[in-house]
Amino acid sequence: MAVSNATLKEAVDVLKKTGVRITPQRHAILEFLINSHTHPTADDIYRSLEGNFPNMSVATVYNNLRVFRDAGLIKELSYGDASSRFDFSTSNHYHAICNVCGKIVDFHYPGLDEVEHFAAHMTGYEIDNHRLEVYGTCPDCKEKQTNN
């Protein structure tokens, strides 16, 4: 857990530099995001932490996620469903999404940066970002389908 503790300290330092007060709730939400590899929704985070913070509301979670996003600590991912999901990893990476259960898994493929250059050349746009999602059935859902 040393890596996540160092990451947590760096994230707290970023928030402090932007003038954000570190409350116990903010600390817990941030720690949850750093240790989560599931791209949770605000409701997922709330349900996981509500036992430790009985006075915390879903609105508190949403507001803190907005603060973290604005500070550049997390990315907000919106896909076909109505719920945004949140990703602590802000490095360039892509997502494989299960059509059945909605699970999202990160993967890296550095060659796609060339797509931005090609798109800029072909369209004349100044390209500043891209996003890639691939959809399919995750191994768990595939196994359930096979066993039924």
Give 95's strand partners: 106, 133
Does residue 63 sit in helix, strand or coil?
Answer: helix
Q: Is 121 annotated as belonging to a binding site?
A: no
Determine if residue 95 is labeled as part of a ligand binding site.
Answer: no
Q: Is 58 helix (H, G, I), strand (E, B) or coil?
A: helix
Token output for 32: 């949850």
93 annotated binding-site participant:
no
CA angle centred on 110, ends 99 and 78, rounded to 5° = 35
Written as one letter, the residue type at 104 is I
CA Rg value for the chain: 18
Question: CA 129, CA 144: separation in Å to the nearest integer?
Answer: 37
> Where is the binding site, in residues?
98, 101, 130, 138, 141
Which residues carry a binding-site annotation for Zn(2+)? Answer: 98, 101, 138, 141
- Which residue ranges make up the annotated binding site for Fe cation? 130
